[in-house]
Structure 1
Amino acid sequence: MDVWTYGSSISLWNPNIPTMKYNILVRRPDDLTAGWAQQVVNNHCPGATVSRLNIISVDTGTTTRIRLAIEHNGPATLPRRWFVKLPSLAWRARLITALPRLLHTEIRFYNEAARNVPLAIPDFLAAQSKPGKGATLVLRDVTECGAIAGSPDDALTAAQASLVIMQLARFHAHFRNKTDLVRTYHWLAGPVRRLEDQLGAALAVPLMKRGLRRAGKFVPSTIHAVAVHYARHRRRAMRFLSEGPQTLVHHDCHPGNLFWSQSQPGLLDWQLVRLGDGIGDVAYFLATALEPEVRRTHEATLLSIYAQGLKDNGITDIDTKSLLQRYRAHLIYALEAMLVTLAVGGMIKLETNYELIRRTAAAVKDLDAFTAIPI
């Protein structure tokens, strides 16, 4: 079996086996037991028995992420390394992510959308989501077959970046101009998304000010005033950023949400997935994944690769000038996301947060991004 699923998130699922009822909701890593794992296995291989479960690692950020080693007597196709996501054990991160129900959104993505995504993504094993009671997502750990999970502060080469850009172009082109896109994925643009936007607007100014204050030297002083002005008018800014050609977007495409197998990239962590402007993923990725010197040297070429990738996948109505302006404008969100992460605290390592702020601030300054958005 491949280390990832390509175009189908449930390749392990046998459609001839009736779906069984289970309750896999847990709140803490200590709740993960062999009996809990048995419920997951029963839905894939009835008759296989779990004999042991070992917790390999626990990492707490926007979610609590647990790597498990499972001993069972099932077939070789049934994974023995699992990756489990639970609501964050860090109260600040949990507060920020609970109301917009980000983990619930990711679970719905795997259940309803992932099989149509033409990207390498982890195999889906099981999930359960109950508003007010919690959410649990179980995936195959991509490292089981030798893939390497990225780190948020990885600095990619231009060659690696071009591979990611080509995959993003393929992904965005696949969903762009689909007449039934909004109807099919209405849950990505419904009340939960509006609530997220309202919270973002309400908290934008205090979080931006706190983030800038804590970032210190990592954000040029010339950016501070315009960043706060943007925060005051965030609702208008978000309307502008969402007006581009609509497609499915990842919306959190930084190096830590990548994995690599045989030098090819795949995407992890779909809790911010939404309908939006594809160039936003490109801006977020290039601003976070490249050292400023590498980005400055290769930025124009990488944007050309993206535009060509769209054309190669059937999208011909590309306005290069508009694409560049929207790329510049979307860089602002990349900086905002890193500053808000710093303002909230406890979601990623502090030194990593500073590094991503340094990179995104450099991109915003280099391309005078705040002048690209009409506020």
Structure 2
Amino acid sequence: MKQSILASRPGDLTVAWAQQVVDRHDADTAVSNVDVVAVDVGTTTRVCVAVEHDGPDSLPSRWFVKLPSLAWRAKTITALPQLLHTEVRFYNELAQSVPLNKPICLAAQSRFGWGATLVLADVAEFDGIASAASDTLTFEQAVLVVEQLAHCHARFWNSVNNDPNYRWLAGPVRVLEDFLGTVLAVPLMKRGLRQAGTLIPPVLHASAVQYARHRRSAMRFLSDAPQTLVHHDCHPGNLFWNKDRSKVGFLDWQLVRVGEGVSDVAYFLSTALSPEMRRLHEAELLAKYAQALADNGVAGVDNDLLMQRYRVHLVYAFEAMIVTLAVGGMMNLDCNLELIRRTAAAVEDLDAFSAVRIKALGGRSF
């Protein structure tokens, strides 16, 4: 029986703890020292540790450890929907079937009532370069990301709902998360709008609050489409690259779920590109996404409909960044404000709120 690797704070990451992780890979390897190199507290507590051991070079010596957040607000928001538990389950059950570059998982464990711990190889160990949340990607990088997303979405296209292996993605935890999102939508939206100040064009304020008031109906509309496996948090800070930035990988799977594939594209383009770059290239990038879906076996993608669905999904990207600001402590403030600026520009440019039909309002737009 494997020993527990559960930890709750950086001080728990001792030599004895690291030895338990190493024993899962090579029982003949001994750990001699563990140094905490860096700690970053957000939606989770992210700890970079240097581990000295006498094992083979294939066993990483720099680890990236995710623990429950030490920030009380972030911990309160993420604890009930069990976001870190979800990511642990993703790495234990789904990661190998997802055709995207991901960090090497060294250990992942969760226990209800006891927390969760995820141990990944630091991407820098293999010459990877992690992005910052506010990084601005080039057109060429954006092409790589949307094509990789299409490859992943095609793999699970219209199959996740009927496969018992993926049923948990839409199970009670996700239902609870959606419920909390709906209950808190209006106060968090109002608080976030106040805090964002002049970053949000005044023309968006009333529509944003109206959307929050009818969020449950809005979510039903946003999910009324072919379903696949989606990352659901695809901003620049959740990407990593090889040295020449010709290959991309995806981090932070704690929001993974069943949803519409183009939602990932909308979230990505509205957060990762400057408004000027997005305006210039978003139609072309959506066409490349559609072509990549077709190349991977998804037939009948209508480009005009894809653009319409892209437009409506921009509202969630905007909401996510506003809520992040309202809760506080979940993302570097400067990065958060920059992503609010970008997503607000996208929502305004494409009049996204007007594109969301709300059944509670008799089918009328905002």
1:292 equivalent in alignment to 2:237: no
1:348 equivalent in alignment to 2:331: yes
CA contact (8 A) 1:51 1:71 kept: yes
Instruction: Report what 2:181 is aligned to.
Output: 200
Instruction: Report what 1:3 is aligned to.
Output: none
Instruction: Report what 1:283 is aligned to.
Output: 266
What is the SS of the residue equivalent to 2:174? helix
1:120 partner amino acid: N
Measure how far apart 1:33 and its partner are.
0.4
What is the SS of the residue equivalent to 1:69? strand
CA contact (8 A) 1:255 1:289 kept: yes
Give structure 1 stretches of 5+ with no counterpart. Answer: 1-19
- Could you give the per-residue CA deviations for residues 262-314 of structure 1, whole angstroms, max 9, x where no partner exists? 42110000000000000000000000000000000011110000000000000
For residues 220-235 of structure 1, what are the structure 2 equivalents within 5 Å?
A: 220-235=201-216
Q: After TM superposition, what 4+ stretches of structure 1 lie above 3 angstroms from structure 2?
A: 179-182
For residues 64-103 of structure 1, what are the structure 2 equivalents within 5 Å?
A: 64-103=45-84
Measure how far apart 1:177 and its partner are.
2.5
RMSD: 0.9
CA contact (8 A) 2:161 2:167 kept: no
1:108 partner amino acid: R
Instruction: Report what 2:319 is aligned to.
Output: 336
Measure how far apart 1:179 and its partner are.
6.6
Measure how far apart 1:178 and its partner are.
2.1
CA contact (8 A) 1:57 1:67 kept: yes
CA contact (8 A) 1:175 1:181 kept: no
Instruction: Report what 1:6 is aligned to.
Output: none
Q: Provide the C-alpha distance between the structure 1 equivalents of 2:162 and 2:109, rounded to a whole number of angstroms.
A: 25
Measure how far apart 1:317 and its partner are.
2.0
Identity, in percent, stands at: 65
Give structure 2 stretches of 5+ with no counterpart. Answer: 359-366
In the comparison of the two structures, how many residue pairs are matched? 356
1:273 equivalent in alignment to 2:261: no
- Could you give the per-residue CA deviations for residues 306-357 of structure 1, whole angstroms, max 9, x where no partner exists? 0000000000121222211110010000000000001001111211111100
Q: Provide the C-alpha distance between the structure 2 equivalents of 1:121 and 1:25, rounded to a whole number of angstroms.
A: 22
Instruction: Report what 2:127 is aligned to.
Output: 146
Q: Provide the C-alpha distance between the structure 2 equivalents of 1:320 and 1:338, rounded to a whole number of angstroms.
A: 27
Change in 2 beyond 3 A, CA 1:189/1:180 = closer
What is the SS of the residue equivalent to 2:248? strand
Instruction: Report what 2:348 is aligned to.
Output: 365
- Could you give the per-residue CA deviations for residues 13-51 of structure 1, whole angstroms, max 9, x where no partner exists? xxxxxxx42011111101100110000111100111001
CA contact (8 A) 1:181 1:247 kept: no
Instruction: Report what 2:29 is aligned to.
Output: 48
CA contact (8 A) 1:120 1:266 kept: yes
What is the SS of the residue equivalent to 2:119? strand
